[in-house]
Structure 1
């Protein structure tokens, strides 16, 4: 099967596993959940940086 696509067998296995996870067949974090977590972490980091700027500004006042 992997040879049909010109990829390594491990690649096909990862594709199949990811599809099973996204379909809910196997328990794990789905692609959508992973994307949401990455975005949430990015937003948290930005908010923390903003809070630090405000703390520093307040300390100088």
Structure 2
């Protein structure tokens, strides 16, 4: 698969290569977001309220 991708990349012009690079960066960014734990909004709200209550 890598060889096939390499062959395709070699035929692209500079602008197309920039677009491929941006797409790869997007895929990596999206993969990082997918690994973040989900936020439990109920617990988050309780944590924030308790922190504000301590300040008052």
TM-score bucket of the superposed structures, by smaller chain: 0.3 to 0.5
TM-score by structure 1 length? 0.43
Larger Rg: 2
TM-score, normalising length: structure 2: 0.46
